Homo-oligomer: A and B are copies of this chain.
Amino acid sequence: MTECTSSPRGCSDRVEAVLRSGEPTPFLVTDLDVVADRYRTLRSALGDAEVFYAVKANAHPDLLAALVALGCCFDVASIGEVKACLDAGAGPGRLSFGNTVKRRSEVAAAHGLGVPNFAVDDAAELAKVVAAAPGAAVTVRLRCDGDGAAWPLSRKFGCGAEAAVDLLVEARRRGMGELGISFHVGSQQSRPEAWDEALAVVASVADAAADRGAPLGLVNLGGGLPSNYDAALPEVEGYAKVISDGLDRHLARHDVRLVIEPGRHLVAEAGVIQAEVLLVSRSDDDDGPRWIFLDVGVYTGLVEAMGEAIRYPMRTPHDGGPLCPSVVAGPTCDSVDVLYEVTPYQLPLALAEGDRVELFSAGAYTSACTTVGFNGFPPLREIVLPLS
């Protein structure tokens, strides 16, 4: 069992200082130096690709401002995220409206503000973008099967290769700007080869579209780069190598700009949640695992624990002592608010009410997904440590 461990990458001294400071729990502490490190490592590994941060992972204003300062671009899902990026100092030319489902008035508003690029995967959405953002760059999203991903995205988004060609040709015919293709191999993708497989399909689409007078200008490698939770995954350099080789092999005859859209990859490992044990309960079932109730749960940021898809590494004050199987649950009066039951955690037998525990790699999709106050529990509070 790997849960009862320190962070996969460790905590900085200043994060540890916050964790020792007695702040009321639960809270998320996010270290922007870690974000900067992840950003620079990715830039260096994928030298040719522009990095568009997927704002949905964590839209804290200080985080966005730090990424602006680092030179990052932004993948936005709504006019709300457009405005958040502009407020953080990003020029509109650094934004890309990546949601394939957009309100018509938001397309027009974003276009009016100078956002240059809009994603589509359907003829009706393309017609909407043509009408509301005439001449804008258009990126057509290809469907991927999501094999190897923690959160496959295949059902809701993307179109097949033939439809993609038709959309590119139609966009050209309607006078739209630079044409792109995007894909998303699925969030927390463990197989670098997923990008190679997708790039082969991209190449077939690009060939067919070019033959019909719609040459490709941009390839968007999407998101899906993983963060470390409970299992060791390849380093980003391994992904970069597969992607670079795939581009050489499949797309050498196309002159394309490259874009990548990491969300989780940039921010997950920058965040640590500190929570408190509210109750250790054995109830009356001596044979079953005990229950550990924390003051954080699926309604206060741990939505990705649903289905037990993401297993946050945990640290406790009793690490090193004897372990026992433990169901981990959140504090609400809601049976859905159980984090790990199908596969209980191995946690120290000595764990007790009032102990503080840390959940590592918790910077993505936590403070972003907290509810406004279900059960009277306030939204997950976030403490952001600035770039040093």
> Which residues of A are in contact with B by a Cβ distance under 8 Å?
54-56, 59, 76-84, 98-104, 121-122, 124-125, 128, 151-157, 159-160, 162-163, 276, 278-285, 291, 293, 295, 299, 329, 331-338, 341, 353-354, 368-379
Q: Max chain B CB contacts within 10 Å: which of A79, A155, A160, A334?
A: A334
Complex contacts, A104 vs chain B, CB 8 Å: 353-354
- Within the complex, the shortest CB–CB distance from A237 to chain B, in Å, comes to 27
Q: Is the CB of A103 within 8 A of B371?
A: no
Q: With A59-B376, A101-B279 given, can you name 11 additional A-B contacts, CB distance below 8 Å? A: A79-B376, A103-B278, A103-B331, A104-B353, A121-B281, A124-B280, A125-B281, A370-B371, A371-B371, A371-B372, A372-B379
Given A101-B278, A102-B278, A333-B99; A284-B372 close (CB under 8 Å): no
Closest residue of B by beta carbon distance from A158:
B283
Closest residue of B by beta carbon distance from A378:
B80
Q: Is the CB of B121 within 8 A of A283?
A: yes
Complex Cα–Cα for A334 and B279 (A): 33
Complex contacts, A329 vs chain B, CB 8 Å: 101, 156
Name the one of B98, B159, B279 contacting A283, with C-beta atoms under 8 angstroms. Answer: B159
Q: Is the CB of B335 within 8 A of A78?
A: no
Q: Is the CB of A101 within 8 A of B331?
A: yes
Complex Cα–Cα for A36 and B102 (A): 39
Complex Cα–Cα for A340 and B208 (A): 35
Given A56-B333, A101-B331; A122-B372 close (CB under 8 Å): no
Q: Max chain B CB contacts within 10 Å: which of A125, A163, A341, A374?
A: A374
Complex Cα–Cα for A77 and B334 (A): 10
Complex contacts, A338 vs chain B, CB 8 Å: 155-156
